[in-house]
Amino acid sequence: MQKPSRPPHTPLRLGTRGSPLALAQAHMTVAALRARHGWDEGAVEIVVVQTSGDRIQDRALAEIGGKALWTKELDRALASGEIDFAVHSMKDVETIRPAEIRIAAMLPRADVRDRLVGADSFAALPERPLVGTSSPRRAAQVRRLRPDAEVILFRGNVATRLAKLERGEAHATLLAAAGLDRLGQGDVGVTIPVEVMLPAPSQGAVGIETLSDNEAVLDLLASISDADTFDCVMAERAVLAGLGGTCHSPIAALARLEDGRVHLRAEIISPDGQETVSDALRIGRGDAAAAERMGRALLDRASPTLRALFEA
């Protein structure tokens, strides 16, 4: 692909949510484009788009529309021409995307792990601890590790959740290491090994989308895409497609490259943490069909009760 020397028009408009983390990821995207193409500061304008997920903070996403609450307003802005491309945390992007929108690039992946904030370990938590999270995956994994735990809803950006913890609303919470690192808070919390808590599919990855027929912007974005991150995250998303998972469904998945192949691990967990169905395999890069089969195979091995979560 020939290196583009200039954007198709200036400024290019990059749509993003307005949270501190979303803005940090938008600035990372702008910096990558400027470094790759030698553009000046005025080449890209960041356009903040408020999403339903940002406005509604008192209920779990699964109850009010799922991951689409993070994307639908940005999708509308893309379709209407208000923005030229949009940046997302990939774990917030629903599995099936509109045909007119394409995931065009992913930045190099950051730390995929979770951090426990408020205690040095799960064992160090008091009896019957209160643990704040809005993630069904984290909630199920916490209950698996600490069956005596009570999980309470923690919504909001990183600062909001840390403030809730500081006010004593819970003994601990869980946050993505990547988000904390990008906000300059890498010293917050204790990192949990993936062997203890397998992360959410796509955790730690930043994705950039544009319209499927916008060849000029697709070419620009392809030039900053990290192929290793892209292939691993797309494998994890293919597992989700095989599962037909929703925000109600506790799902974890992680793909890593080993000797040129994708080592893929995934698990589904009952909300009470008492049932876990897991698998691991090695597949070729780009073999979405094999990853989807893995997701379907997990369901085949699950109890009727756990399987029903994915059929709703």
Same domain, 126 and 106: no
| Structural domain includes residue 68 | yes
Same domain, 126 and 178: yes
Instruction: State the residue range of the domain holding 298.
Output: 237-308
Residues 6+ apart with CB under 8 A from 269: 137, 140, 141, 144, 250, 251, 252, 275, 276, 277, 306
Task: Categorize the per-residue pLDDT at 244 as very low, low, confident or very high, splitting at 50, 70 and 90.
Answer: confident
Is the pLDDT at 1 greater than 50? The verdict is no
Indicate which CATH number applies to the domain containing 179: 3.40.190.10
Same domain, 30 and 93: yes
The mean pLDDT value of the chain amounts to: 91
Model's pTM, two decimal places?
0.91
Is the pLDDT at 80 greater than 80? The verdict is yes
What's the confidence (pLDDT) of residue 64?
47
The lowest-confidence range among 65-69, 107-111, 173-177 is: 65-69
Same domain, 144 and 249: no
| Structural domain includes residue 72 | yes
| Structural domain includes residue 155 | yes
The lowest-confidence range among 2-11, 283-292, 299-308 is: 2-11
Upper half-sphere CA count for residue 90 (Cβ side, 13 Å):
31
| Structural domain includes residue 1 | no
Q: To 10 degrees, what angle do helices 158-166 and 20-37 make?
A: 150
What's the confidence (pLDDT) of residue 50?
78
Among residues 135, 170, 191, the one where a domain terminates is: 191
Task: Categorize the per-residue pLDDT at 309 as very low, low, confident or very high, splitting at 50, 70 and 90.
Answer: confident
What's the confidence (pLDDT) of residue 94?
87
Same domain, 104 and 22: yes
Provide, rounded to the nearest whole percent, the portion of the chain with pLDDT above 90. Answer: 80
Tokens 């943490």 found at: 273
pLDDT in tens, 256-295: 999 999 999 999 999 999 999 999 999 999 999 999 999 9
Task: Categorize the per-residue pLDDT at 53 as very low, low, confident or very high, splitting at 50, 70 and 90.
Answer: low
Indicate which CATH number applies to the domain containing 242: 3.30.160.40
pLDDT in tens, 111-167: 999 999 999 999 999 999 999 998 999 999 999 999 999 999 987 889 999 999 999
Same domain, 154 and 218: no
What's the confidence (pLDDT) of residue 65?
46
| Structural domain includes residue 214 | yes
| Structural domain includes residue 7 | no
What's the confidence (pLDDT) of residue 52?
58
Catalytic residues: 92
What's the confidence (pLDDT) of residue 72?
85
Same domain, 56 and 106: yes
Is the pLDDT at 60 greater than 60? The verdict is no
Domain count, the chain: 3
Same domain, 215 and 96: yes
The tokens of 103 are what?
């995931």
The tokens of 81 are what?
């021409």
Question: How far is residue 77's CA from residue 135's CA, in Å, rounded to a whole number?
Answer: 27
Q: Sheet harboring 276-283: ordered strands across?
A: 251-258, 261-269, 276-283
Same domain, 102 and 136: no
The tokens of 78 are what?
């893309």
What's the confidence (pLDDT) of residue 86?
97
Same domain, 67 and 213: yes
Is the pLDDT at 4 greater than 50? The verdict is no
Same domain, 217 and 101: yes
Question: Which residue, among 105, 255, 75, has the nearest Cα to 67 in the 3D structure?
Answer: 75
Same domain, 89 and 214: yes
| Structural domain includes residue 2 | no
Could you tell me if 132 and 141 are in contact, meaning their C-beta atoms sit under 8 angstroms apart? no
| Structural domain includes residue 54 | yes
